[in-house]
Structure 1
Amino acid sequence: MPALVFDCDGVLADTERYGHLPAFNATFEEFGLPVRWSEAEYGEKLLVGGGKERMATMLTPDFLAAAGLPSDPGELAEHLASWHRRKTEIYTGIIAGGSIPPRPGVRRIAEEAADAGWSLAVASTSAEVSVCSVLAHVMGDALAGRFAVFAGDIVPHKKPAPDIYLLAVSELGVSPDDVVVVEDSRNGMLAALDAGLACVVTPSSYTGGEDFTGATLVVSSLGDPQETTRVLDDPLGLDPTPFVRLDHLRTLLTEAAPRPSSRE
C-alpha cells in the first residue's frame, strides 16, 4: 500500500510564525539572553534545520561575551540543551492552547488515506514531543495514533539532507515509488526529492517566495470546502480543484517519472 508522509511545521499548521517564534523569544527572555528574533530574522533562521541548530547560530564570540556565557564547547552544549528543553515546553503549551488552526485539508486527506489503507507518517526536524503535540492537535488522538513519527535527532543530518525520509521509507517498509510527501519549504522538498520521493508542496506564510522547481505539485493548500485550493504549479496536469483528493495523489504516483535517490 502507498504511504502519505507529512512534514510538521508549516504543513500540518502554521506553527513557525505563531508557535515556534514566540516560544524561542519567551525562552530567550526567561534565560536573560540578549536577543529577540523578529519575524524577518526568524525567516532567515528557518534556512537552518532544527531548533537547537537555529539557537546555535547565535553563539558568536560577541554574543557569548554579551550574555556572560562560557566559551567551552561542552558547557555551551549544556546551555543549548537547557534552552531547547524549555523552548519545547513553552511551544507545546502554545499548541495545547489550541490557538493555531490546522492548515486546510490536512486532516481530511489523512482521513481519506487512512480509510484507504495507506500508511501515514510525519517526518520532521523538530523535537518529537513538539511534533506529537501538533499531530494530536491537528488530527485528533484517534487518527494521530495511526501515524508513525520520525522526528528530532534520530538521523545524522537534518533537512535538506534526505536522511529523515530515507529512514521513514525504510521503517514503513514501502517502495519510494509508493510514497507521497507533503512539504512547505524548499529544504523539505529537496530532502524528499533526494530520497527519491514524490513531493507535493503547500507553501506556508514563511516559504511562499521559495523556489519549488522539481516538486510534483505545488498548491496553496490541500484545501477543503471552506478554503479551496489554488494551483501554483501542476506539471502533471492533475487539476486538483476545488481541493486535493486522495485520487489526485494516486494519479500522481502512477504518472510521475521515476525518482532515483542520489543515495542509490
Structure 2
Amino acid sequence: MVSPALIFDCDGVLADTERDGHRPAFNAMFDELGVPAHWDEQEYGEKLRIGGGKERMASLFEDPQFARRFAVPPSKDAQAELLSTWHQAKGVHFRRLVSDGAVRPRPGITRIITAAVQAGWTVAVASTSARPSVYAVLEAAVGHDLADAIPIFAGDVVSAKKPDPQIYLLAVSELGLERDQVLVIEDSRNGLRAAVGAGLRCLITTSSYTREEDFSEACLVISSLGDPGGPPLDVLADRAGVPIGDFVSLEDLRACISGVNTASTGPTKGDSA
C-alpha cells in the first residue's frame, strides 16, 4: 500500500512569513543598501501576485518613478547580478527575524508534520523562496532533526515559479509519489493553480494576504489547521465532504486525499486561457 504524502508550501502555510518576515526583510534590505523603495502592507499584497522574491524586486525596474531615483543597470545580466545581491541581503534579514522569533509557525503545522512523519507519510516542502529561508522557517516549526529529514524543493530549482506547476511536478517525480496519494497544502491562488496544474489535490489554509482570493478548485478551504485547545478554525469551503471539527487531524487529511478529485476541474475565474 502506497503511503500518503503531504507537500507544504512555505510562505503563508508553515508560518505567516509574508506579513511577519518577508515584507519587513525587504524593507530592511532597501534601507541598508540605499534602495529608494518601501513596501507598505497594501503594496506588498499586490507584489505577492508575482511569484518569487527576485521577480517582485525586478518589478521595481519597470516603475518610472523608481527609475528616476535609482540608476537601473541597462543590461539584463547587470540587473540579474544586482537582484541577486539584494536577494542575498534580504535573506539575511529574513533569517534573523525567524531566529529572533518574529515568525511563528501557524496553528497545527508542528502537530501535523510531526504526526505525519511518525505515521510513515512522506512530507515535503515546495516553495519559490530561497532554500536557506525555507529551511529556517521549517526548522523553527519542527526542530533541527525533523527539518533535516524533510525534502525541500525551493528557490531556483525550476525555470518557472508558481503558478507554473513545475515545482510540484519535480517534487512528485523526485520523490516517486503517486499523484492520487498526494495532498498539497497552500495558502494562495498562485499556489493552488500550481498544484492543480500538476494534477494534485490541494487544501488551502488562508493567510493574512489571501483570504479573499479565488479557491474554486481546492478540496478544502480553512482558516488554519488549528490545534487542540486553540481557537476553532473556520471552514470556508468543503468540496471533499470532510466533516472538520475545531482542528484538522491526520485522518481528515487522509479523507481529503481519498475524496473528490478537484484537481481535474477546468479553468475557473481568475485563470487565463
The reply to whether TM is greater than 0.5 is yes
Query: What residue is the counterpart of 1:139 in the other structure?
Result: 142
The answer for the alignment partner of 2:271 in structure 1 is: none
Pairing partner for 1:9 from 1, 7, 11: 11
Question: Given the alignment of the two structures, is residue 231 of structure 1 paired with residue 235 of structure 2, yes or no?
Answer: yes
For 1:240, which of 244, 259, 272 is the aligned residue? Answer: 244
Given the two structures, how large is their TM-score scaled by the length of structure 2?
0.92
Which residue in the other structure is 1:39 paired with? Answer: 41
Q: Secondary structure at the match of 1:192?
A: helix
Take 1:107 and 1:237, find their aligned partners in 2: how far apart are those partners?
25
- Whether the 8 Å contact between 2:21 and 2:102 is mirrored in structure 1 is no
CA 1:216–1:261: 2 relative to 1, 3 Å: closer
The one-character-per-residue Cα deviations of 1:37-90 (angstroms, maximum 9, x if unpaired) are 110000000000000000000003542341133322222221111111100111
Aligned to 1:207: 210
SS in 2 for 1:57: helix
Q: Contact between 1:230 and 1:241, CA under 8 Å: does it hold in 2? A: no
* Mean Cα deviation higher: 125-134 or 236-245: 236-245
Deviates more, 1:218-227 or 1:127-136: 218-227
CA distance in 1, matches of 2:81, 2:66: 17
Q: Distance between the aligned counterparts of 1:37 and 1:236, measured in 2? A: 38
Aligned 8 A contact 1:64 1:70 in 2:
no
Determine the structure 1 residue equivalent to 2:58. Answer: 56
Q: Which consecutive residues of structure 1, in runs of 5 or more, have no partner in the other structure?
A: none
Q: 1:107 aligns with which of 107, 110, 113?
A: 110
Native 8 Å contact 1:64 1:71 kept in 2: no
Q: What's the counterpart of residue 24 of structure 1?
A: 26
Q: In the superposition, relative to structure 1, how do residues 209 and 258 fare at CA in structure 2: closer, same or farther (>3 Å)?
A: closer
Asked whether the 8 Å contact 2:217–2:262 carries over to 1, the reply is no
Out of 174, 177, 184, the position equivalent to 2:177 is 174
Q: Note the 1:248-259 alignment, pairs <5 A.
A: 248-257=252-261, 259=263
Tell me the distance in 2 between the aligned counterparts of 1:124 and 1:27: 21
**SS at 2:11 equivalent:** coil
* Native 8 Å contact 1:195 1:261 kept in 2: no
Shift of 1:261: 9.8
Structure 2: runs of 5 or more not aligned: 267-273
* Distance change (3 Å), C-alpha of 1:133 and 1:261: farther
Cα root mean square deviation, aligned: 1.5
Call closer, same or farther: CA 1:243–1:41 in 2, change over 3 Å.
Answer: same
Matched, 1:95 2:98: yes
Letter in 2 for 1:32: G
Q: CA deviation at 1:260?
A: 5.0
Q: Residues 117 and 41 from structure 1, CA distance in 2 versus in 1: closer, same or farther, beyond 3 angstroms?
A: same
Shift of 1:107: 1.0
Maintained 8 Å contact 1:5/1:120:
yes
Q: Which deviations, in whole Å up to 9, do the C-alpha atoms of 1:214-237 show, x marking residues without a partner?
A: 101001100102122221101122
Structure 1 window deviating more from structure 2 (229-238 vs 85-94): it is 229-238
Deviation at 1:169, TM superposition (A): 0.5
Q: Write the letter of the residue equivalent to 1:212.
A: F
Checking the alignment, whether the CA contact within 8 Å between 2:4 and 2:121 is kept in structure 1 is yes
TM-score, reference length from structure 1: 0.95
Runs of 4 or more above 2 Å deviation: 60-65, 255-262
| Equivalent-residue separation in structure 1 for 2:115 and 2:65 (angstroms) | 52
C-alpha displacement of 1:258 = 7.3
**How many positions carry a matched residue from both structures?**
262
User: SS at the partner of 2:159?
Assistant: coil
